[in-house]
Structure 1
Amino acid sequence: MLIAQEKRKTNIAEYILYIWQLEDLFRALNFDMEKVGSVLVSQFNVDENTRLDIYQYYKNMVLMMEKEQVKEKGHIQAIKNVTDDLNHFHLLLLKSPDDRQYKALYQIAKPLLDEFRLKSNDVNAHDVQVMLQALYSVMLLKLQQKPITKGTEQATGHISKLAGHLAARFKQNEEGDFDLYE
């Protein structure tokens, strides 16, 4: 909850990746709230009321995952909506004459995104889904201490720059410092 709230305010892409990570952690803990409490909630150095809030936040996520039938794979609808909103912003940004740097970053990343889309067998995934899934996949490989090829490192470096720029513009837009009009 604390991390999610902070990431939502500061970097929308990191927020989405964090929620995906929580979903996978809940799956790994078999949606057992006792384990969630002892493994996840206990790691926070906070007062008891905040610890209870975090526990309740996690419990609500677990309930959503169960209700929305994404216990084995997939994402809760709320995070899919955020991802779709970010993709909508991405498309507006590509049309905007106000950010040439984003378009340049996208031109570099687009073939990499297309390649990852094909490899993931999800040809209908939009750019932001593919971008975040690529970054998440590499993050999981690193956590598992599996080897990552130099080509994959370079590709995700380009994708990461694109995601970072997108997240920064999204934040600026939310704060009223960068406007996009349809």
Structure 2
Amino acid sequence: MKIAEQLKKNNIAEYLIYMWQVEDLLRANDCDIDKISENIISRFQVSDEERKELTDWYDNLATMMREEGVREKGHLQINRNVILNLTELHAALLASPKFPFYSSAYFKALPFIVELRNKNGKKEEPELETCFEALYGMLLLRLQKKEISPETTKAMEAISSFLSMLANYYDKDKKGELKLED
């Protein structure tokens, strides 16, 4: 919970990846608070008060997953909203002549995004969601200690660089420091 709060405040891209991991952890535990308590919460060395906060947080997320019909796949609305907010900012940054380096990073990543969308058959999916799915997939491959091809590494570097720049602009925008227009 505190990790999520920190990431949301400091790096929205890392926050979203983290929250997708949490969704998968909840799925692995059948969105059952007893299993979540036993397999996840019990591993934290925290006070009783913090344990209750963690339990409430995980329980609320599991309840939301059941209610929103994303118990087996998909993402919570709170996480989809992050993608929507980032997509709005992405469009504004591309439309502004003040951010040529951002546009350059996007157009460098675009061929990889198109290729990924063609491979996964989700051509209607938002581009940013494709990017985050690719990064999340890469994370899972690394956790499983699977080999990653040089082509995939090159694609992920371009996508990661692009998303990192977007996350930085998102942070500036939230702080009121981003001026899209003159």
Uncovered stretches (5+) of structure 1, i.e. residues with no partner: none
Q: Does 1:73 align with 2:73?
A: yes
Alpha-carbon distance between aligned partners in 2 of 1:2 and 1:43, rounded to the nearest angstrom: 15
Alpha-carbon distance between aligned partners in 2 of 1:49 and 1:166, rounded to the nearest angstrom: 36
The offset of 1:4, in angstroms, is 0.8
Alpha-carbon distance between aligned partners in 1 of 2:110 and 2:40, rounded to the nearest angstrom: 36
Work out the number of aligned pairs and report it.
Answer: 181
Alpha-carbon distance between aligned partners in 1 of 2:130 and 2:153, rounded to the nearest angstrom: 16
Corresponding position of 2:152? 152
Corresponding position of 1:43? 43
Alpha-carbon distance between aligned partners in 1 of 2:44 and 2:171, rounded to the nearest angstrom: 27
Residues 1:46 and 1:106: Cα distance change in structure 2 (over 3 Å): same
Alpha-carbon distance between aligned partners in 1 of 2:176 and 2:6, rounded to the nearest angstrom: 19
The offset of 1:97, in angstroms, is 1.7
The offset of 1:126, in angstroms, is 1.3
CA contact (8 A) 2:32 2:62 kept: no
5 Å matches for 1:97-116?
97-116=97-116
The offset of 1:43, in angstroms, is 3.1
Which amino acid is the alignment partner of residue 91 of structure 1?
Answer: A
TM-score, normalised with respect to structure 1: 0.95
- RMSD of aligned alpha carbons: 1.2
Corresponding position of 1:139? 139
Q: Does 1:84 align with 2:58?
A: no
Name the SS of the counterpart of 1:179 in structure 2.
Answer: coil
Which amino acid is the alignment partner of residue 78 of structure 1?
Answer: I
The offset of 1:142, in angstroms, is 1.1
Corresponding position of 2:2? 2
The offset of 1:49, in angstroms, is 1.0
Alpha-carbon distance between aligned partners in 1 of 2:121 and 2:54, rounded to the nearest angstrom: 36
Corresponding position of 2:55? 55
Alpha-carbon distance between aligned partners in 2 of 1:149 and 1:6, rounded to the nearest angstrom: 32
